[in-house]
Structure 1
Amino acid sequence: MIPTEAITSGTLNSLLFYFSVMGLLLVFATFLRLKIKVLKKYFIPASLLAGFIGLLLGPYGVKLFSEEMVNTWGALAGILISIVFAPMLMGMKNEKQSGTGKLVGRHLLYSYTGSLLQLSIPLIIASLILIPLFNLNEMFASIIEVGWAGGHGTAAGMIEVYNNLNWSDGASLGVTSATFGIVIGIISGIIMINHGVKKGYTSVIKKPEEMKNKDSDVIPLNNQKSSSVNTLNPDLVEGFAFHAGLISIAILLGWFMQQAIAVFVPGIPLFPMAMIGGYIINMIISRTKYFEMIDVNTMNRIQGIALDFLVLGAVASIQIPIVVEYALPLIILSGITLGMMIWYFYYLGRRFFPEDWFEHSIVHYGAYTGVTAIGLMLLRTVDPEMKTDSGKGFALRAPFYSPFLGGGLITAMVPVLMLSSSSLIVGISSLAILIVLLIIGKLLGLIQKPQEDKKDVPSSNRNVV
């Protein structure tokens, strides 16, 4: 039973006010992004910018916003992540894609490689060096895969996990790790693209001036298209309300599963369970004539709304003193991870993708340093018309990757496993699994000797932007 005495008009009015301020920050950040060219050049999302503004105006900045308000934003982020994950597997059709087996296999194995690298190497290094040197919590290194491959959404969702495991510092550190990752992903990704064009690594873009971002952030009226469709008569129910209802059922199913699992494995967060709940709904409704009532784009719009406010709240609620306390080991581990991801891109990318390796690899690099949107942004920079199969392969591998790593069930379970064993054991186990996967990939022909890059770009055109 819900304790109704705790839900007073005062708390609801406060929640409405706090959420309204978030909306104000998001709109203000949107206009900042429109007006400041450097923000557009480096693809800084308005939600991240709004979060930094909220952080600046919060209790660790100019103190315009109260600590209660900022903490409420952080709590909302932990709730919104379930709304982001619940519809992730809803609306999927069981359509067979001919001739895409190896393509999906390469992208899927490359995805698992990226996440397992971020689990194994940081955990091993932290366990052997950083944890004893700086007297850190056993779960410290888990923030890398949470923040980099998972992103702000996963970091916010893991707040519940870290709090349940008595390490509240992990909440701010996970979001900080995600912020490090997204900034590093954008800046290093643009540098790598410029370098790739100069060296002739890219398949589509052959001149630096071809990749300049000429698109306006404001879509002209004659180019505007519908982002979702009505699948139901509005006289029956508003389409967004119906889809929100399905998401609510998925979260409710996830909550029951969470309670059942907690008896055996305490600490499992709600958001991966909500995703499984959404999959159950999809399995049931896909067998009926009512499956056409689900519009994937409407689900995406609801996810997008939740994700924007989630990122804003998560970043604005970062506990600055905690970040300062962990600054040195966090910077060291982030630097090691960056070097590892560069090796992942240049060395492994050439071997996983015999054709168009740069385009196939850059979308993963952007996604596993920042978020999926950054990966797709970097891909669009080097392949604006999607002439390669990189976007297709990246999209088709998602149902087999996202539910488990990069913010999925395994990501959520790692801190629990670390406490039941140790960070070193989990790190070595992750590395062993990675090695086995690479051997299987080699045997299946998914990993090959790299081909020479076609350097057909005139030297006069090989200048960095």
Structure 2
Amino acid sequence: MSLDQLFMALVLLGLLMLAGKWLRVHVALFGKLFLPSAILGGALGLLLGPQGFGALASLLSGDESRFATGLLPQASLEIWSGLPGLLISVVFAGLFLGKTIPGPRAIWRRAGPMVAHGQTLAWGQYVIGLSLALLLLTPVFGVSPMAGALIEIGFEGGHGTAAGLAGTFRELGFENGADLALGLATVGVVAGVLLGTILVNWGVRSGRLDIEEAQRMDTERFSDHDERESVPRFSRARSIDPLSIHLGFFALAIAIGWLILQGLIWVESVTWNRGADGLALMEHIPLFPLAMVGGVLVQVALMRLGHAKSLDRGLVNRISGAALDVLIISALATLSLEAVGSHIWTFLILAVAGIAWALFGFLVLAPRMFPKDWFPMGLANFGQGIGMTVIGLLLVRMADPDNRSGAMESFGYKQLLFEPVVGGGLFTALSLPLIYHFGALPILILCSVLMLGWLVFGFWVFRPEKASSST
């Protein structure tokens, strides 16, 4: 690979970004579905590549066709395939940079019910997926038991997590798993928007939402990424551009995460992974969840040193958003349709089961676990559980555009006690090697205990609050 090829790959990515934005603005259907421009750009790249235009050219003119590999250079596709595993660390490193991190008690007071409900949904995705793997997918279709983790990785984790775990899938012998997870992530985004819109309309018509409030919804307020938070920029004379110094803090967070990962690998090598019969878990953990830990440590250090507002959260979000855009486009443009097609029944079964569980969590569990305002609160978790954090933000803004319920703040605080573990956190990264080494049944038992624990805890702690608030 030459520098010229790298440069051309980045130029083509930029053009796909522009094309995706153009489609989002000028095709009414895409706008109504609130599909992110990056997904449209990635889908366009897939259509222009060897599995879209190339496959059509081969069908019409044979494998010797000039366009059998599509309209995109092969070198660019090879470069794009490696970008998601790198850029996901940038996205996760910025999750908490520039944010004021309150104490655990303050977080729990605002987001306790949402944490309990969200954790129940997340662990339930593992329970559903692993049960299907043990009872159907592995014995009938011969799929790896690691397929049991795909619902949580694809729906809760999203495109970034699915792409970031591609190396782990490959190392553990389930290379098609990354493509299946990416496909599920795409299904989750579309289903989250469609079903979420239907649920909001149902809430309005049934009186569960204020119809006047819903009618004031301004769709232009929606962004493709996280809610923009604004803090003062650098007030001192500039000796370096603010963007550059923010990139430096991203690098620091990622470097700290890398050091933590190397330390864990070393500890493992001198403990349970000694000798030929050792158990290797840490070496299969990707960098991105620990980059998130590094970001938390950097932010806590800045707060302790009195520099909590030294980072501009808006600029941090823009860096993370740009990295996520490039990640999604490159991941979708290099998605293997052949891998999805060869496991189509596995893919469909997991997609239907994941959507059904998300609906159950919203329609059945949410009214019983939230003391008040269950509709916007539960809708936020439904959106994140089926199509990443951005869909949760989108749906809560649709249901409560003026944030009268406080669902937006609760949803934000929830991430501090949620994302370090699941939804792309440490357990999400560990789930694949754990299933690989210990088998699906022990992990199913573990996830069942955790799901039931959060479920019982939510009912036990928050139902009395619901009863008192309704009297």
Structure-2-length-normalised TM-score: 0.87
Distance in 1 (CA, whole Å) between partners of 2:422 and 2:161 is 10
Distance 1:108 1:13, change over 3 A: same
Match of 2:273 in 1: none
Q: Is 1:303 aligned to 2:320, yes or no? A: yes
Distance 1:59 1:229, change over 3 A: farther
SS in 2 for 1:388: coil
Distance 1:334 1:249, change over 3 A: same
Select which of 117, 126, 131 maps to 1:119: 126
Match of 2:399 in 1: 382
Aligned-residue sequence identity (percent) comes to 30
Q: Is 1:426 aligned to 2:443, yes or no? A: yes
Match of 1:47 in 2: 38
Match of 1:256 in 2: 259
Please identify which structure carries the higher helix content: 2
Select which of 56, 65, 69 maps to 2:72: 65
Question: Where do residues 82-161 of structure 1 align in structure 2 (5 Å cutoff)?
Answer: 82-95=89-102, 101-161=108-168
Match of 2:421 in 1: 404
Superposed CA offset, 1:357-394 (max 9, x none): 11111111111111211111111112111111111111
Select which of 217, 220, 227 maps to 1:215: 220
Q: Is 1:192 aligned to 2:192, yes or no? A: no
Distance 1:207 1:241, change over 3 A: closer
Letter in 1 for 2:265: A
Q: Is 1:205 aligned to 2:211, yes or no? A: yes
Distance 1:17 1:343, change over 3 A: same
Q: Contact 2:258/2:290 (CA < 8 Å) preserved in 1?
A: yes
Distance in 2 (CA, whole Å) between partners of 1:447 and 1:121 is 29
Match of 1:247 in 2: 250
Shift of 1:97: 9.8
Superposed CA offset, 1:78-121 (max 9, x none): 11000001122323334469987444110111111111111111
Q: How many residue pairs align between the two structures?
A: 436
Deviation larger for 31-40 or 84-93: 84-93
SS in 2 for 1:92: coil
Q: Is 1:172 aligned to 2:206, yes or no? A: no
Question: Where do residues 277-356 of structure 1 align in structure 2 (5 Å cutoff)?
Answer: 277-356=294-373
Structure-1-length-normalised TM-score: 0.88
Q: Which runs of no fewer than 5 residues in structure 1 stay unpaired?
A: 1-9, 219-224, 454-465
SS in 2 for 1:286: helix
Q: Contact 1:52/1:316 (CA < 8 Å) preserved in 2?
A: yes
Shift of 1:399: 0.8
Distance 1:447 1:313, change over 3 A: farther
Shift of 1:73: 1.2
Deviation larger for 255-264 or 270-279: 255-264
Q: Contact 2:213/2:400 (CA < 8 Å) preserved in 1?
A: no
Distance 1:343 1:302, change over 3 A: same
Letter in 2 for 1:192: L
Select which of 4, 12, 25 maps to 2:3: 12
SS in 1 for 2:378: helix
Distance in 2 (CA, whole Å) between partners of 1:384 and 1:94 is 25
Q: Contact 1:205/1:383 (CA < 8 Å) preserved in 2?
A: no
Match of 2:238 in 1: 235
Letter in 2 for 1:173: L
SS in 1 for 2:371: coil
Q: Which runs of no fewer than 5 residues in structure 2 stay unpaired?
A: 54-69, 269-280
Distance in 1 (CA, whole Å) between partners of 2:445 and 2:18 is 46
Distance 1:300 1:141, change over 3 A: same
Superposed CA offset, 1:19-45 (max 9, x none): 110100111111121111111111011
Distance 1:159 1:387, change over 3 A: same
Distance in 1 (CA, whole Å) between partners of 2:14 and 2:237 is 27
SS in 2 for 1:371: helix
Shift of 1:282: 2.2
SS in 2 for 1:445: helix
